[in-house]
A and B are shown apart, each in its own frame.
Chain A
């Protein structure tokens, strides 16, 4: 099955700086790569996703890049704000199959 590795496990950034989280996946058949944000006491929520026919996608301060050859994808958050503090999960999915999640990154934005 698919194996997703996520780094770093914790990330502390100064408010206004950028944050980058990286994930690798093992199965070249994976074609859907979502990112989820989990705030304290809540379930994970999708913040951005990318498909294998796209190399980069951006939504305001959040961007995701995908390198299919190297089998890795990254989340970039620019101009971080205190409300960006949360746990972030990457995931990968083979068509018509389950999502496999990374172990999560706890992001802390220091004021």
Chain B
């Protein structure tokens, strides 16, 4: 089954404690992206990757890092989380100019 898998689904952490949200896709897609979803603001892109070792900033990259060492994986790293990073996060993958497939989401709370 074609899918994008994110882990964990829910996470509560404390300010400053580094965390990683994993994302994996099994469709051999070149493009992968991370979004955050906040009420009234829609889906805002954090980072995206056009292929292995190629990443670029999206609209709201501050406070986040990503890596793309393998085609299927695209982890999101918060080196020092802060409360304003409390949000619902989605990973997505797609082929160029094609439908994006989204993961189930990760609800992060930073206290």
Binding site for B on A (CB under 8 A): 1, 6, 9, 31-32, 34, 36, 41-46, 49, 89, 91, 93, 95-96, 98-104
Which of A46, A49, A91, A99 has the most C-beta atoms of chain B within 10 angstroms of its own C-beta? A99
Q: Do B42 and A31 touch (CB < 8 A)? A: no
Shortest Cβ distance from A90 into chain B, in angstroms? 10
Q: Which 10 A-B pairs have the closest CB atoms?
A: A43-B102, A103-B42, A101-B43, A46-B99, A104-B42, A44-B102, A98-B48, A32-B97, A96-B96, A101-B42
Which of A43, A95, A96 has the most C-beta atoms of chain B within 10 angstroms of its own C-beta? A43
Q: Do A42 and B104 touch (CB < 8 A)? A: yes
> At the interface, is chain B mostly helix, strand, loop or mixed?
strand
Q: Do A98 and B97 touch (CB < 8 A)? A: no
From A44, A93, A101, A104, B97 is in contact (CB under 8 Å) with A93
Interface CB pairs A-B, < 8 A, 26: A6-B42, A9-B40, A32-B97, A34-B100, A36-B100, A36-B102, A41-B105, A42-B105, A43-B92, A43-B103, A44-B102, A46-B100, A49-B99, A91-B100, A95-B96, A96-B96, A98-B31, A98-B33, A98-B48, A98-B58, A99-B33, A99-B45, A100-B45, A101-B43, A101-B45, A103-B41
